[in-house]
């Protein structure tokens, strides 16, 4: 079955450490997205990519980095520069380069100790 | 400025009754799209329904319908015959294309729906 796989599902990190969240899709979708979700805040866009080797900053990109070396993969690194990284992170993809219907992964919950 | 506004943090409905979840949006683009997603307690986002700005008729998908009022810039979700499994967070989203950027979806803060037996 096609879909999006995010790993790990739960992650704990000490302050000052970088951490990378994995996102893999086998839907052959062109566009991929990373959202952050905090209680009462809804979803906020971190980074997105329409094609391989290209990505754009979303609304809250500071303290995060991404890469898009392969069509099916869009990892997100939460760096030590991110002041409040504890959150639920959702990866999504869509067919074509426009923002069409998004298919989401199950999410990764990051907790900074 | 907030592009998507969901004014109801929480809603309650009796099983088998209908419920309307409000969503208003702000855009100056003539072409846009509106989406509704459901997020159960498991966390995964589930697509429910889509309405294009040029669509003449309101979108419907099974028990879900979208009450699209373009002049009022509202896109309310109507769930008919509520079921216990409808208890979840519901998010309204809009597709926008910022100047110089690529299309992206912007989400509202969500409404928590509780269906009571």
The string of pLDDT tens digits covering residues A10-39 is 999 998 899 999 999 999 999 999 999 998
Residue contact B102–A41, C-beta within 8 A: no
Question: With 90 as the cut, is the pLDDT of residue A100 above it?
Answer: no
Distance CA A42, CA A63 (A): 19
Please answer whether residues B94 and A42 qualify as being in contact, where contact means their C-beta atoms are separated by less than 8 angstroms.
Answer: no
Per the prediction, chain A carries an average pLDDT of 93
List the single best residue of B104, B108, B110, B111 to mutate versus A (max A Cβ within 10 A). Answer: B104
Residue contact B47–A101, C-beta within 8 A: yes
pLDDT tens for residues A32-75? 999 999 987 889 999 999 999 999 999 999 999 999 999 999 99
Q: Position of tokens 């086998």?
A: A26
List the single best residue of A102, A108, A109 to mutate versus B (max B Cβ within 10 A). Answer: A102
């Amino acid at each position: 079955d096609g879909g999006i796989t995010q790993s790990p599902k739960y992650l704990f990190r000490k302050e000052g450490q970088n951490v990378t969240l994995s996102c893999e899709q086998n839907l052959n979708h062109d566009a991929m997205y990373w959202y952050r979700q905090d209680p009462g805040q809804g979803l906020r866009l971190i980074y997105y990519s329409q094609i391989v080797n290209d990505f754009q900053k979303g609304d809250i990109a500071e303290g995060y980095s991404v890469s898009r070396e392969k069509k099916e993969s869009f990892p997100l690194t939460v760096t030590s520069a991110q002041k409040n990284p504890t959150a639920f992170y959702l990866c999504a993809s869509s067919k074509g380069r426009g923002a069409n219907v998004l298919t989401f992964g199950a999410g990764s919950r990051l907790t900074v100790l | 400025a907030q592009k998507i506004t969901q004014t109801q943090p929480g809603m309650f409905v009796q099983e088998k009754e209908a419920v309307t979840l409000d969503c208003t949006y702000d855009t100056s683009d003539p072409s846009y799209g509106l989406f509704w997603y459901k997020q159960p307690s498991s966390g995964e986002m589930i697509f429910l329904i889509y309405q294009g700005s040029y669509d003449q008729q309101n979108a419907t998908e099974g028990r879900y319908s979208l009450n699209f009022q373009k002049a009022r810039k509202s896109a309310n979700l109507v769930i008919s015959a509520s079921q216990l499994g409808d208890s979840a967070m519901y998010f309204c989203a809009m597709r926008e294309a910022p100047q110089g950027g690529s299309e992206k979806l912007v989400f509202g803060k969500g409404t928590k729906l509780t269906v009571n037996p």
